[in-house]
Homo-oligomer: A and B are copies of this chain.
């Protein structure tokens, strides 16, 4: 029984994320979500209390997945070059595995009620800091140039986050191929090496 409930909840999350992405949080009604799921508006309230709860659950679900992907890499004893590459691949993987949620995570979180928005912004900052600690270590160990580590981290995360805008699951590149390409862009730049 629990799994049926969970399954329905997951379905509601998927549908809500798609609608929030397509038309924006404010322009999506609970009725729109219920209709797209194929249930009565009233029944939807058996699963979620409010539209704000849905947004909150979707963006925190994404945040959980970003942390779950990055934390073991950051905590591992791989060498830093490997860690940073793996972090890029992991981050892209979270996005390409669920493009709709990644879009909502990136753009719609601003529409959370203020208290939740602040709380979510702290989680995003925390993730950014974790990523930045890898960049910092990369600089310290001489693998990365002596760049501004905060700006470099924002550069990397901006370039990666918007993969959701152009990645196509049925396209010619797999998620891993996109991730490796992005890692190459980030580490080696676009300039041709004159070897």
Contact = CB atoms under 8 A, between A and B. Distances in A.
Nearest to A81: B191
A26 to B, nearest CB: 4
Contact of A188 (B142, B161, B191): B191
A178 to B, nearest CB: 8
Main secondary structure of the interface of A (DSSP, over half): helix
A115 to B, nearest CB: 16
A143 interface: yes
Given A24-B24, A26-B26, A107-B107, A192 B144 contact: yes
A174 interface: no
B189 A185 contact: yes
A185 B24 contact: no
